[in-house]
Amino acid sequence: KAGVTQTPRYLIKTRGQQVTLSCSPISGHRSVSWYQQTPGQGLQFLFEYFSETQRNKGNFPGRFSGRQFSNSRSEMNVSTLELGDSALYLCASSLSPGGYPNTEAFFGQGTRLTVV
Amino acid sequence: KNEVEQSPQNLTAQEGEFITINCSYSVGISALHWLQQHPGGGIVSLFMLSSGKKKHGRLIATINIQEKHSSLHITASHPRDSAVYICAAYTGNQFYFGTGTSLTVIP
What confidence score (pLDDT) does residue B40 get?
Answer: 76
pLDDT at position B2? 85
Distance from CA of A18 to the nearest CA of B (A): 23
Question: In chain A, what residues touch B96 (CB-CB under 8 Å)?
Answer: 45
Using CB atoms, pick whichever of A55, A100, A107 lies closest to residue B31: A100
Contact B96, B89 (CB under 8 A): yes
pLDDT in tens, A52-62: 999 889 999 99
Residue B34: CA count within 13 A, CB half-sphere: 28
Burial A75-91 (b: 16+ CB within 10 A, else e): bbebeebeeebbbbbbb
pLDDT of residue A102: 59
| pLDDT of A78 | 97
Query: Do the Cβ atoms of A99 and B100 come within 8 Å?
Result: no
Task: Check residue A99 and give its pLDDT.
Answer: 65
Question: Are the C-beta atoms of A15 and A115 separated by less than 8 Å?
Answer: yes
A104: pLDDT strictly greater than 80: no
Task: Flag whether pLDDT at B28 surpasses 70.
Answer: yes
